Structure 1
Amino acid sequence: MTPTDLVLAAVAAIFVDADVDAARALVAPDYIQHNVAVPTGADPILGFIPALKESGIALTTHRVITEGEMVVLHNTYDNAQALGAETLVAFDVFRVADGQVVEHWDNLQVPPAERVSGRSMTDGPTEVVDLEQTAANKALVEGFVKDVLQGGAPERITDYVSTETYLQHNPMVGDGLNGLGAALAAMAEAGQAMAYAETHIVVAEGNFVFAASEGTIGETPTAFFDLFRVENGLIVEHWDTVSEIPADMPHDNGKF
């Protein structure tokens, strides 16, 4: 199986088919877990499958982005009380090796009812195109993260983001550069300034580039998982999930 096929099969075994045996074959015994509520290793996941089935959890995968051994899924979990809420939007990131899933990172967020742009956290284009532009699009987003999100040269934002079309799926932010600026200013005024410190994972395929970063909102350690769509050499659309990084986790692997 390709890395994409492998990850989709493992996720289906766990969340759709509740097939413990299939999941056991696909998930490495020493699976490295970065979810902040689940112990590391395959056994905790396998042991949780019956409870997930009983809960009636429903998984919808909106986007799949694959680069090498890394696979990113943009997911919605409904009936997700077993994970902590009725509905959760998530980015699930997997690393595969030797025919098994060996590592997992995620970031989950409850979608609010009100959205500034009117868009949901998951709607919009899903098709991966422009595969020949993967390397260039990845470099573009890496530059945007360094210069704008991490504050290296924020005045260069128009080198990276379209001034004509910037569609926003963060529920707190409006469209366009004006919407982004207004949201950042409001957060700063409320004492909740957003700061990106380090980006740990970047995965690109065609017109989609995903980045997983850590930083702060105010004084709170925060994980930012961002997905960007690139068109004609500029970022034109953005999805994300944002969540607090807790001090205590049931493993020593950290959020990243």
Structure 2
Amino acid sequence: MRRIFLSAVSMVMLATTAQSQDLSNGDKAAAVLQSFQTGDATAMKEYVNPDKYIQHNPYFPDGIAPVIGAVESGAFQGTLVNSYRTLSDGDFAVVQSLYSGAWNNKSPLVAIDVFRFEDGLIVEHWDNMMPLASKPNPSGNTQLDGVTQIVDADKTEANKTKAHDYIDTVLVKGEIDKIGNFVKDDNYIQHHPDIANGVSGLKAALGEFAKKGITMVYDKIHAVHGEGNFVLVMSEGKFAGKPFAYFDLLGLNDGYVDQHWGIMAAIPPASDWKNDNGKF
């Protein structure tokens, strides 16, 4: 069993470790993110391909140079980065974090960053962010609490399939009556700030959206990444008629989905993008 919460001190150590140390892709990704806190871009220079960095954050141009420049210029001074869950899945790494402190004078943000590797170096990046709620959800859960241990490594592929089918069946196809195939009874811990635990909580929230004339639509699943009992499903759709990106991090146990951490964020119009790669 492997603990995956990394303290600020250990993250700094990772960022300055020689490449000769055997780090997982998840460890490298977490160290790169820690650069925003330390102002030290060493990890970015060591673990990101200097000649190929495809950026899907619409507010940054392609290439790692603009990001390194912003870090070294002090643009993120005072920012705190705490990573809660870090997954390694082949050539991909997923990191769920909280960005706080002097985060551009904004409220704290919960984020999920996804990185793709080639030959041990990061060559592509996706992310999704939403504000940290000021209070727990109706069931008393926060957006980041809950289990952090990776277990069931041998069930990774089965869990990825289960997570994909859950999102595809219940949210893309809208067959909510089949949710029992994926969630056992009402054993479903919800970390969305506005939704209560259980199938009943999810149905109630969707019902409230409908009463207000708000639709939440999932149109397409773009990617599924996971390790052991954690799986991230990346999708796009519409919320209240506007284009949205949905990053659903699911916890699975004994073949069923039992926890959900979700980040939903509006996709800005193409006229505001700093690159031509799209959100996905």
TM-score band, normalised by the shorter chain? over 0.9
Shift of residue 54, structure 1, vs aligned partner = 5.6
Q: Does 1:28 align with 2:49?
A: yes
% identity of equivalent residues: 37
**Which residue of the partner structure matches residue 89 of structure 1?**
110
Cα distance in 2 for residues equivalent to 1:125 and 1:241: 17
1:140 partner amino acid:
K
Partner secondary structure for residue 211 of structure 1: strand
Shift of residue 211, structure 1, vs aligned partner = 0.7
Aligned mate of 2:275, from 245, 251, 256: 251
**Which residue of the partner structure matches residue 109 of structure 1?**
130
Unaligned runs of 5+ residues in structure 1 are: none
2:133 partner amino acid:
P
Alignment check: 8 A CA contact 1:210 1:226 kept: yes
Cα distance in 2 for residues equivalent to 1:22 and 1:181: 44
Cα distance in 1 for residues equivalent to 2:174 and 2:212: 23
Alignment of 1:56-71 (within 5 A): 56-71=78-93
Shift of residue 213, structure 1, vs aligned partner = 0.6
**Which residue of the partner structure matches residue 125 of structure 1?**
147
1:107 partner amino acid:
N
**Which residue of the partner structure matches residue 201 of structure 1?**
223
Residues paired across the two proteins, number? 254
Shift of residue 175, structure 1, vs aligned partner = 0.6
Alignment of 1:1-256 (within 5 A): 1-12=23-34, 14-29=35-50, 30-52=52-74, 55-82=77-104, 85-114=106-135, 115-151=137-173, 153-247=175-269, 248-256=272-280
Cα distance in 1 for residues equivalent to 2:260 and 2:74: 30
Cα distance in 1 for residues equivalent to 2:160 and 2:172: 16
Q: Deviations over 1:99-132 (max 9, x none)?
A: 2111111111101213222211000000000111
Q: Deviations over 1:142-175 (max 9, x none)?
A: 1111111102633211000121310000001011
Cα distance in 2 for residues equivalent to 1:31 and 1:109: 24
Cα distance in 2 for residues equivalent to 1:49 and 1:227: 28
Shift of residue 53, structure 1, vs aligned partner = 6.3
- TM-score normalised to the size of structure 1? 0.94
Alignment check: 8 A CA contact 1:134 1:206 kept: yes
**Which residue of the partner structure matches residue 10 of structure 2?**
none
Cα distance in 2 for residues equivalent to 1:44 and 1:94: 17
Shift of residue 22, structure 1, vs aligned partner = 4.0
Q: Deviations over 1:159-199 (max 9, x none)?
A: 00121310000001011111000101111221211010111
Cα distance in 1 for residues equivalent to 2:97 and 2:262: 11
Q: Deviations over 1:32-65 (max 9, x none)?
A: 1111211111111011103456631000000011
Cα distance in 1 for residues equivalent to 2:101 and 2:154: 39
Cα distance in 1 for residues equivalent to 2:24 and 2:129: 26
**Which residue of the partner structure matches residue 6 of structure 2?**
none
Alignment check: 8 A CA contact 2:76 2:102 kept: no
Alignment check: 8 A CA contact 1:117 1:171 kept: no
Cα distance in 2 for residues equivalent to 1:80 and 1:33: 24
Alignment check: 8 A CA contact 2:30 2:86 kept: no
Q: Deviations over 1:3-33 (max 9, x none)?
A: 2232233223x22332234422322222111
